[in-house]
Amino acid sequence: MIKEQEKPLSGKRIGIFGKGGSGKSTVTVLLAKKLKELGYGVAILDADSTNIGLPQALGAVTPAPLLDFYGGMIFSGGAVTCPVDDPTPLDGADLYLDDLPPAYQGHSANGIDLFVAGKIGDKGPGAGCDGPIAKIARDFRPRYRSEAPVTLVDFKAGFEDSARGNIVSLDRIIVVIDPTMAAVEMAINMRDMVDQVKAGGMPATAHLDDPDLIEVAHNLYREARIEGVMFILNKVREQETEQFLRDRLAEEDIIPIGVIKDDPALASAWLKGQPLTGSGTKPDMDGIVKALEAAEKKVAF
């Protein structure tokens, strides 16, 4: 277990992205468990508006959605707006955990905190888009009385939430790449988007009529704290596949920080609705966490 002063990831907010089926929720859970094992405080924000499996994969009771806590979707007469239409920060997103009712907090057996931004599966036809859930994912950052945890944000599959500007609230991004060219292309697109934000690129605001809202949107990008994007190969079965992916990514100057080998036990756990143990991926996760820590230490200096 690492010492208190040797926790470079504490307080960091890391977004997990990937195409559908890439295994981003699996990576989120395995990474959370490894960080907890090393002595970090760990929180997960389930920001995937459609996938309902993360709590059971973590071994935690599903908490009530934060969408309800903040008043529901604007499309249904609620208070939470879409970040594209209204980039204004979510009111009350910066609160002490003590002030969040226990019903909205989940906990795994080993002490990982779990929050669920919201789901659209029970909203019925015509409920509107899931933009309000994306705003909660962008802004929700509870304060802790003790050490700030590493927060892992598991985003919806695909590129939509990043295009909504959610990356501006993250310290770092991890893109999960499964053995498909679609996953490789998404990794390249995410790298390019992060580069644009770091270079001072501004969001699209032609649809906004209010100059104040335009300024809010621009300020979110000016104040973006993102340090970079990293890449993990997942579900890799043989060396030939790994080398093919590495060679293709190298053409874009992308070097993965680690590889998670295909583990039938993980697929079996998802099938049976059981918590993920990830025992077969332990060496893989050890190397990935070391790479993340090394990157943070490099930024610190």
pLDDT tens per residue, range 60-74:
999 999 999 999 999
The pLDDT, as a whole number, for residue 125 is 67
Residue 147 DSSP label: S
Q: Taking residues 280-301, report their average pLDDT.
A: 91
86 SS3 class: coil
25: enclosing H helix or E strand: helix 24-37
55 vs 46, 182, 245, CA distance in Å?
Answer: 8, 27, 31
Looking at residue 164, its pLDDT comes to 87
298, pLDDT greater than 90:
no
Q: Cα separation of 59 and 78, whole Å? A: 31
The pLDDT score that the predictor gives to residue 279 is 83
CB-based contacts of 109, cutoff 8 Å, min separation 6 = 59, 60
Q: Are strands 106-107 and 113-116 parallel, antiparallel or unpaired?
A: antiparallel
Spatial contact of 156 and 213, defined as CB atoms under 8 Å apart: no
Q: What pLDDT score was predicted for residue 112?
A: 97
**pLDDT at residue 213, as a whole number:** 97
Instruction: Give the pLDDT band of residue 283 (cuts 50, 70, 90).
Output: very high
Neighbours of 92 (CB within 10 A): 14
Q: What's the pTM value of the predicted model, to 2 decimals? A: 0.95
Number of domains within the chain = 1
Q: For tokens 């980039």, name the residue.
A: 87
Beta bridge partners of 229: 173
Edge-to-edge strands, sheet with 113-116: 106-107, 113-116, 42-47, 150-155, 13-18, 172-177, 228-236, 258-261
**Tokens 């770092």, residue located:** 172
Q: How confident is the model at residue 259 (pLDDT cuts 50, 70, 90)?
A: very high
Q: Taking a C-beta distance cutoff of 8 angstroms, is the pair 45, 169 a contact?
A: no
At 166-190, the pLDDT tens digits run 999 999 999 999 999 999 999 999 9
Asked if 46 and 29 touch (Cβ cutoff 8 Å), the reply is no
Query: What are the structure tokens assigned to 295, written together?
Result: 């990157």
**Closest C-alpha to 153, from 185, 95, 186, 113:** 113
| Percent of the chain's residues with pLDDT above 90 | 86
Q: What is the CATH number of the domain that holds 144?
A: 3.40.50.300
Q: For residues 44 and 23, what is the distance between their CA atoms, to the nearest angstrom? A: 16
- Summarised one tens digit per residue, pLDDT across range 68-121 is 999 999 988 999 999 999 999 999 999 999 999 999 999 999 999 999 999 987
- Per the structure, the complete domain to which residue 221 belongs is given by 4-300
Q: Among 4-13, 53-62, 195-204, which is the least confidently predicted range?
A: 4-13
7 in Cβ contact with 39 (< 8 Å) = yes
pLDDT at 3: 58
Closest CA to 183 of 14, 49, 20: 20
pLDDT digits (tens, 9 = 90+) for 201-255: 999 999 999 999 999 999 999 999 999 999 999 999 999 999 999 999 999 999 9
Q: How far is CA 109 from CA 10, 275, 279, in A?
A: 21, 11, 17
Helix (H, G, I), strand (E, B) or coil at 245: helix
